[in-house]
Structure 1
């Protein structure tokens, strides 16, 4: 209650250049004595409120009168600093904006909290093992977010996952939720033309146009939104997002592939035990490494470079395992293994 009244008092002081004590007491519905206590509380928080004495004494906020109020505690200030400095870089052009936002927030804070915020200066480094997400347009995120809130049908073109960028189709959909998974942006929507729930990758959406038509809220097809997005077959990156891209036929059920495949992968169920998976990586060897983690047999369908990388990797593993064995087994056994390197 006190915090709410303090926030309202600060808002009044910023909305009007000068207030009498009686005027503030009347607006807040409290006594002039309570107003004086609340004024002192603002000063303790670092907001410089000046007062003039006398029968018509008044209060004014010396600094930041045109800025909106921002009252946060130390933990919230730390959360703001960390969140802005470690935000995912999947939205284009946000790097400079986040720095400016952090500076603006510092200007809004009382001095002791601004100093606290300045102690958190973080530099993010690239990690070669992180599968970098394709960037999306912040304007597209804003338009789709508004459509979700307004329950407005949207019409857009959607690019196929294949390399041919001309392979697009028109979609009329009900946007229900925006989801971010490992830096990739998805829209969970109901496709009115296909009469089915789908996820759409925002980096593959183009030429979006609001329709002005409203839709009624539907129940999502799965109570677990994460599980639903993961289970979608075309969740992965487009091939041109990675220098190396391949397709394999894997002896693994699609449900397991959906659960454990990297975010960049897309897949289709061939039958109950076979799944075709398409995936990209920064090198052919890295791509083989991801596939081997499934610990099941797979057949490389394309391209030839991926098949050759598989042969090279398996050859190196044979040699390294045999060399390790030679250090721990008798010479006779080692010579037999050298003659038959089948594992």
Structure 2
């Protein structure tokens, strides 16, 4: 019981920078006096826990030059193993680094947890429906993440799929948050020159440079960062991977189409109820199969092969639906 509580206390100190004695006592369900004894036990084990006295005193786990062996419970060990083995493959050079990190953590664990960690071996498989996510540089991720944390303006060149690949536009943005969706990295930021919010694809950001200028916090549109990113029509993917590509006009609002369309699709709002979507798949029939999931009317703009596939698919659907009064005649439709 004492060992479990000490482990939980260590987890709390690792998860939050500072804790009051009363706060720790409330979380652990013990008295402040018991917390002080448990703190002393951690110190005896070699963990550098500092404390300040007085009404506003707090406990803090300091960073020492040498820390004792890593202490985690069984659930945390499983979480570490699964998280490292299923880490996004879209960051350049992270495959070997995650394997080395997992091996390093195993060396710090007690023998029984190290053995259990070794039993979790996960192999990731590609989904044939989804385009492989583009690679992003870990240095860029770190730079933009730090800028968002410090609220520092960033200047960069952005290559949109709406302009020629060789061109790009200069952006002065307030980075708010990094988001990963379907393996693709986005930076949600406010464009100061355009006075508008955008979800910028990290693989299309070039020559990022800090400015040293700070900005005030803003509220994300709709108050929901997930909804904002999913509603962006421009996903940022190019159309050079799938063998079959088509363009369709759908009688469905662009926000709904963009939310559920695959990562490589691009959407354009024609008006409030009509959306033009361009997307690809491994076959023309697969494209039709996706489009009918929206349960709305659509018109094929191009190419002719997609229109012909739609006619073939409809020709293969043969539904014989009994009339409503069939049950009254012994299960047979009445003439």
TM-score (norm 2): 0.73
Q: Measure the CA separation in 2 of the matches of 1:163 and 1:112.
A: 57
1:207-222 to structure 2, matched below 5 A, reads 207-222=207-222
Per-residue Cα deviation, 1:75-99 (whole angstroms, up to 9, x for no partner): 1001100111112212122111111
Offset at 1:288?
2.9
Match of 2:309 in 1: 312
Offset at 1:187?
0.6
Q: Measure the CA separation in 2 of the matches of 1:82 and 1:36.
A: 28
Go from structure 1 to structure 2 and tell me whether the alpha carbon gap of 1:312 and 1:98 turns closer, same or farther (over 3 Å shift): same
Per-residue Cα deviation, 1:154-176 (whole angstroms, up to 9, x for no partner): 11111121483113111110000
Go from structure 1 to structure 2 and tell me whether the alpha carbon gap of 1:206 and 1:6 turns closer, same or farther (over 3 Å shift): closer
Go from structure 1 to structure 2 and tell me whether the alpha carbon gap of 1:218 and 1:311 turns closer, same or farther (over 3 Å shift): same
Offset at 1:249?
1.6
What is the aligned-residue RMSD (CA, Å)?
3.2
1:125-164 to structure 2, matched below 5 A, reads 125-162=125-162, 164=164
Q: Measure the CA separation in 2 of the matches of 1:285 and 1:125.
A: 24
Structure 2 residues not aligned, in runs of 5+? 12-35, 48-64, 323-335
Given that residues 162 and 238 in structure 1 are in contact (C-alpha distance below 8 angstroms), is that contact kept between their aligned partners in structure 2? no
State the SS of the aligned residue for 2:166.
Answer: coil
Go from structure 1 to structure 2 and tell me whether the alpha carbon gap of 1:74 and 1:251 turns closer, same or farther (over 3 Å shift): same
Larger radius of gyration: 1
State the SS of the aligned residue for 2:294.
Answer: coil
Given that residues 151 and 175 in structure 2 are in contact (C-alpha distance below 8 angstroms), is that contact kept between their aligned partners in structure 1? yes
Given that residues 249 and 298 in structure 1 are in contact (C-alpha distance below 8 angstroms), is that contact kept between their aligned partners in structure 2? yes
State the SS of the aligned residue for 2:317.
Answer: helix
Match of 1:14 in 2: none
Q: Measure the CA separation in 1 of the matches of 2:259 and 2:306.
A: 25
Go from structure 1 to structure 2 and tell me whether the alpha carbon gap of 1:242 and 1:203 turns closer, same or farther (over 3 Å shift): farther
Offset at 1:314?
2.6
Of 260-269 and 151-160, the range deviating more from structure 2:
260-269
Per-residue Cα deviation, 1:206-243 (whole angstroms, up to 9, x for no partner): 12111121111112222221111111121342223544
Q: Measure the CA separation in 1 of the matches of 2:113 and 2:99.
A: 17
Match of 1:295 in 2: 295
How many residue pairs match? The answer is: 276
1:8-157 to structure 2, matched below 5 A, reads 38=44, 69-157=69-157
Q: Measure the CA separation in 2 of the matches of 1:110 and 1:102.
A: 14
Given that residues 90 and 136 in structure 2 are in contact (C-alpha distance below 8 angstroms), is that contact kept between their aligned partners in structure 1? yes
Offset at 1:68?
6.4
Q: Measure the CA separation in 1 of the matches of 2:161 and 2:42.
A: 65
Offset at 1:185?
1.0
State the SS of the aligned residue for 1:124.
Answer: coil
Match of 1:336 in 2: none
Offset at 1:69?
4.6
Q: Measure the CA separation in 1 of the matches of 2:86 and 2:106.
A: 17
Match of 2:224 in 1: 224
Q: Measure the CA separation in 2 of the matches of 1:244 and 1:174.
A: 38
Offset at 1:148?
0.6
Q: Measure the CA separation in 2 of the matches of 1:265 and 1:237.
A: 7
Go from structure 1 to structure 2 and tell me whether the alpha carbon gap of 1:67 and 1:103 turns closer, same or farther (over 3 Å shift): farther
Match of 2:191 in 1: 191
Per-residue Cα deviation, 1:45-71 (whole angstroms, up to 9, x for no partner): xxxxxxxxxxxxxxxxxxxx9566521
Per-residue Cα deviation, 1:277-311 (whole angstroms, up to 9, x for no partner): 12233444333322222232323334x2xx31331
Q: Measure the CA separation in 1 of the matches of 2:85 and 2:254.
A: 37
